[in-house]
Amino acid sequence: MTRVAIVYHSGYGHTHEQAKAVAAGAASVPGIEPELLRIENAGQDFAPVLAKLEKADAIIFGSPTYMGSASAPFKAFMEASSKPWFEQKWRNKMAAGFTNSGSQSGDKESTLMQFVTLAAQHGMVWVSLGLPPGNNSTKGSVEDFNRLGISIGAGAQSPVDAGPDVGPSASDKKTAEHLGRRVAEAAKQWNSALIDA
């Protein structure tokens, strides 16, 4: 069994919908057991989450973009991960990321780059989105996969005046599913390569 953990924060439920789509994509790969680990607040005890992550083969990071950055609760988690960092416990695990914001851009790449740096500090192996940009030609549409044209990870946009029943869009959820599936497949291959080595 290959374990894919999705650790994320969602203040108002929109990024939670994106996280569920990532999990559904991972679950579509045979032999994969995805686990959703939601961070509730910056002051929580992170020890149980860190204990679960230690057992994961892949960790997918997710956060809403708040002020061009990962949210404060997610950043508290990032700092708490200095404990496994001291012993490089996440070394050689797969890593990937997703974020959701109110604007089409919303400076989401800034949040994803924070995840890339986090993964690199932990010695993890970054898995990109692996989709061409959508909605970038006269034939494009908002229904396209990767309609926001991000390469680092999965992006989503949710209108700020509507609940998680409205946003993220179906295309953003399909894009998130793709990321979950891609990470799950990569982790399976990586695990079997490590076993064979």
Residue among 51, 160, 166, 194 that touches ligand FMN (CB under 6 A): 160
146 Cβ contact list (under 8 Å, min separation 6):
129, 131, 132, 133, 134, 155, 175, 178
CA angle 10, 15, 17 (to 5 degrees): 120
Nearer to ligand FMN by Cβ, of 34 and 167: the residue is 167
Residues in region 161-180 near ligand FMN by CB under 6 A: none
114 near ligand FMN, judged by CB under 6 A:
no
111 near ligand FMN, judged by CB under 6 A:
no
36 near ligand FMN, judged by CB under 6 A:
no
Are 71 and 40 a contacting pair, CB within 8 Å? no
Nearer to ligand FMN by Cβ, of 9 and 188: the residue is 9
Residues in the chain: 197
Residue among 27, 36, 84, 102 that touches ligand FMN (CB under 6 A): 102
What does DSSP say about strands 58-66 and 2-9: parallel, antiparallel, or unpaired? Answer: parallel
64 near ligand FMN, judged by CB under 6 A:
yes
- Distance in angstroms between the alpha carbons of the first and the last residue of the chain: 18
14 near ligand FMN, judged by CB under 6 A:
yes
Residue among 2, 100, 146, 175 that touches ligand FMN (CB under 6 A): 100
113 near ligand FMN, judged by CB under 6 A:
no
109 Cβ contact list (under 8 Å, min separation 6):
150, 152
Q: CA–CA separation, 129 vs 145, rounded Å?
A: 11
Nearer to ligand FMN by Cβ, of 41 and 103: the residue is 103
Q: Which residues bind ligand FMN (CB under 6 A)?
A: 10-15, 64-68, 100-103, 106-107, 158, 160
